[in-house]
Amino acid sequence: MATLTVNGKQHNIDAAPSTPLLYVLRNDLKLNGAKYGCGLGQCGSCTVLVDKEPVYACVTPISVLEGRTITTLEGLGTPENPGPVQRAFIAEQAAQCGYCIPGMIVRTQALIEHKPKATEQEIRDYMAPNLCRCGTQVRILRAIRRALKETRTAEVVR
């Protein structure tokens, strides 16, 4: 039995301690955001935040997460009230099939927190672990630039 803190709520999980977080999120907690893409940490579809840092949920055993804070796509906003990064992606219509986008949004969230003034090259380097097969990257980049800009503007207003 492991206790995980996901999107601000504590959950007791009855699974083997070596179980990758991805399957616990998707099946035990019924969260759809993190997706299975490769199970090898090569594509980023399963990206979630652990203590605000992006990690691959598919190669993260739940045993290492006791006492740490996990944030998934669902923790960033809801369909009724999408978060800033989600709003930027919607505004840019940055999806085709959309399967990789949750991982993109989560990684963008981390980028905003770590490098709010990221240059174009820094954005691309930071996003390089995440793959998109539909070729939506051009829009995703637009959405990221928008999210960065709007976050910076919001900071100034605050």
Q: Which is nearer to other proteins, 3 or 153 (CB)?
A: 3
Could you say whether residue 35 binds other proteins (CB under 8 A)? Answer: yes
Could you say whether residue 41 binds other proteins (CB under 8 A)? Answer: yes
DSSP track, 67-136? T-EEE-GGGG--SSS--HHHHHHHHTT--SS-TTHHHHHHHHHHHHHH-TT--HHHHHHHHTT---SS-T
Q: How far is residue 51's CA from residue 28's CA, in Å, rounded to a whole number?
A: 21
Residue from the set 13, 70, 101, 118 that interacts with other proteins by CB under 8 A: 101
Could you say whether residue 60 binds other proteins (CB under 8 A)? Answer: yes
Q: Which is nearer to other proteins, 81 or 156 (CB)?
A: 81
Q: Is 135 left (phi over 0), alpha (psi -120 to 50) or beta?
A: left
CB 103 within 8 A of CB 32: no
Could you say whether residue 116 binds other proteins (CB under 8 A)? Answer: no
Could you say whether residue 82 binds other proteins (CB under 8 A)? Answer: yes
Could you say whether residue 72 binds other proteins (CB under 8 A)? Answer: yes
Closest CA to 77 of 54, 108, 55: 108
Residue from the set 8, 12, 119, 135 that interacts with other proteins by CB under 8 A: 135
Residue from the set 4, 31, 112, 147 that interacts with other proteins by CB under 8 A: 31
Please, what is the minimum distance in Å from the beta carbon of residue 80 to other proteins? 9
Residue from the set 134, 152, 153, 154 that interacts with other proteins by CB under 8 A: 134
